[in-house]
Structure 1
Amino acid sequence: MVGFDADDTLWRSQDYFDAAQEEFERILGAWTDLERSGARDRLYQVESGNIGVFGYGVKGMVLSMLEAAIELSEARISAADLERILGLGKELLRHPVELLPGIAEAVEAIAREHPVVMITKGDLFHQEAKVRDCGMADLFGRIEIVSEKDPATYRRLLDEFGLPASRFLMIGNSLRSDVLPVLELGGWGIHVPYHSTWVHERAAPVAEGERRFRQVNDAAELPSAVAEVVAAARQAD
């Protein structure tokens, strides 16, 4: 079975978040010295602290932006600018789904040979909308929207699939969420780096020589990489 991440693996996502953060900083810059206050680092600290409360996704990001803006401006920020920050979230939620180049063809090719599933995390309502609008949902035997992607979550899903980890391959742009937890369980991982990664998703590289890990440059390389993993898995049996 082959699992696919969604955001920044199937379609663009982080680019929109990066643009929203830049606009947030322009708004906040009228109320505080961004460099002296360490605004970017402080926003990440607030976001990280709020993940356990709000989860991942646009809504948690915007609520954290509002909290950080009030704190960093010492509660001086205007209601009008708070409304502008709230508007950033609405814009993010309205963005159309833009598939990454070649990914539809790659998923179709892999789905002809193997059962495929989508495993994504984030705001349930937003993720459901993106899945609905992506035009690829019919290719996946199951679509799982989870609150976290860690070994416990993958173990639960593999139990539901009735599948040992050694027969599961996860493809995604995040080492932290898509690759390392699956490798820890004894599964396989293919990393497809995206040009921009949220700092929370950054992780130490996979140990050199890890036989259950592959990295590719783009979607066009995925079918051959999956075939290579399948061959290696059969040899390991």
Structure 2
Amino acid sequence: MKLIAFDADDTLWVNEPNYVNVKEKLCELLAHYVDQDVLTDRFYDAQIRNLHMYGYGAKSFILSMVETAIELTDGAITGREIQQIIDTGRKLIDFPIDVFDGIHEVLEILSKDFDLMVLTKGDLFDQESKIARSGLGHFFKHVEIVSEKNEQSYQRILDRYGVAPADFIMIGNSLKSDILPVVHIGGRAIHIPYSITWAHERVADEQLVGKSFTTLASARELLACFQKGSPVSENIN
């Protein structure tokens, strides 16, 4: 293998629960204006609608919260309440990084024998900050932060580094972003599911039919896949 790439959020460290908590705070702040189910649906619609403008990450999330609040209250929300929403959202920008158990050990061992990359999507400043705060940056030879993870973006990155898809492995928690695009271009992928998946990242079971990738229960199981003396192609299938 010439390159092993890791997703960041919910693969290296906890991320989605922080967004869930902030969304719950938004529901509390607007409870006297609108039903929670209605707010949840409209907020999700706003997030998806705004992806092509703001991308992924904390800033996009905050802007979508404010936009949803204004729309659902027909402009009746006060400036003080909007400030509360912004202050709540700011917690997503500097929350403590909770690295998953076993990640330090796995990266320390793999980085001795392989070139490692962080390959994540989202806001550049936000993702760079999380990588720095995680204390994991020194394990990675390369960092790539993209606006979207699809077949085209993966292929561009591999072309830039002169790596053939067959010599590349992507490790991540999202079937939609980390696994299927890589499989489609001829690369290999390892899925490490996380307990919470954003609705936008979920895929239907039929999309997985005929797709070959490995699923592990935790990052610690990665070491068995990359044992010295054992061809990776025999362990990843």
Q: Do the two structures share a fold, i.e. TM-score over 0.5?
A: yes
Q: Is the 8 A contact 1:9 1:173 kept in 2?
A: yes
- Alignment correspondent of 2:46: 46
Counterpart of 1:31 in structure 2 is 33
Task: Tell me the secondary structure at the aligned position of residue 94 of structure 1.
Answer: coil
Structure 1 runs, 4 residues or longer, greater than 6 Å off: none
Q: Is the 8 A contact 1:31 1:76 kept in 2?
A: no
Shift of 1:130: 1.1
Distance apart, 1:9 and its partner CA = 0.5
CA distance in 2, matches of 1:144, 1:83: 33
Asked if structure 2 preserves the Cα contact closer than 8 Å seen for 1:183 and 1:189, the reply is: yes
Following superposition, the deviation at residue 102 of structure 1 comes to 0.7
How large is the RMSD of aligned CA atoms in angstroms?
Answer: 1.8
| C-alpha distance in structure 1 between counterparts of 2:209 and 2:73, whole Å | 45
User: What amino acid is aligned across from residue 78 of structure 2 in structure 1?
Assistant: S
The 1-side partners of 2:23 and 2:219 are apart by: 27
Match of residue 89 from structure 1: 89
Q: TM-score, normalised by structure 1?
A: 0.92
CA distance 1:226–1:188, change in 2 (3 Å):
farther
Contact 2:183–2:211 (CA<8 Å) still a contact in 1?
no
1:75-111: CA deviation from partner (whole Å, max 9, x where unpaired): 1112111111101221111212111111111122222
- CA shift at 1:210, angstroms? 3.8
CA separation of 1:133/1:34 partners in 2, compared to 1, >3 Å: closer, same or farther? closer
Q: Is the 8 A contact 2:226 2:235 kept in 1?
A: no
Which residue identity is paired with 1:27?
A: L
Aligned match of 2:232: 230
Instruction: Check the 8 A contact 1:188/1:229 in 2, yes or no.
Output: no
Query: Identity of counterpart residues, as a percentage?
Result: 38
| Whole-Å separation in 2 of the counterparts to 1:140 and 1:231 | 22
TM-score, length basis structure 2: 0.92
The equivalent of 1:216 in structure 2 is 216
- Runs of at least 5 residues in structure 1 that lack an aligned partner in the other structure: none
Counterpart amino acid of 1:197?
T
Instruction: Specify the alignment match of 2:9 in structure 1.
Output: 7
What is the CA distance between 1:69 and its match in structure 2? 0.7
Match of 1:22 in 2: 24
